[in-house]
Amino acid sequence: MEYKKKLALSLVKVVENVVPGLSSAIELMEIATPLTYQDWGHRYRGSVAGWSRRMEKVSSFEHKLLINSPIQHFLFVGIYSVLEPFLGGYPVSMHTGNLAANYILENH
C-alpha cells in the first residue's frame, strides 16, 4: 500500500507542472491497480473495461461499444461493453443501456 501511495504522489507531482497546486488541493485519494480490480472488483485479469480492445469486434454505436455476440439480437451493456471507460460502475451501466435502447428503437 505504501508503494502505491508513493507512486500516486509522484504522479501528482508530475501533473502539478500543468496544474499548479494540485497536491495541496487533494482531500481524498483513492489508489487502485489492476490487482485491485481483479481482487476486489472480480474484474477479468484486472481490466478496467472490456475483455478485448480488438477493433474488429466493434460494431456500430459510434465505435464506442462492443456489441457483437454469438446470440442474434443480443446487445452487451455495462462496464465490459465500453471501449472508452468513464466514471465506472452505475453511470456506465446507465449510459450503455441507454445507447442500446436507442439503437433498438432506431434500427428495429
Q: Please indicate, yes or no, whether the overall pTM of this predicted structure exceeds 0.75.
A: no
Give mean pLDDT in consecutive 10-residue pieces for the chain, a chain of 108 residues.
89 93 91 83 71 48 56 77 64 81 84
Cα torsion angle, 17, 36, 90, 54, sign: positive
What is the model's pLDDT at position 14? 94
DSSP 65: B
Other CB atoms within a 10 A radius of the CB of residue 82 amount to 23
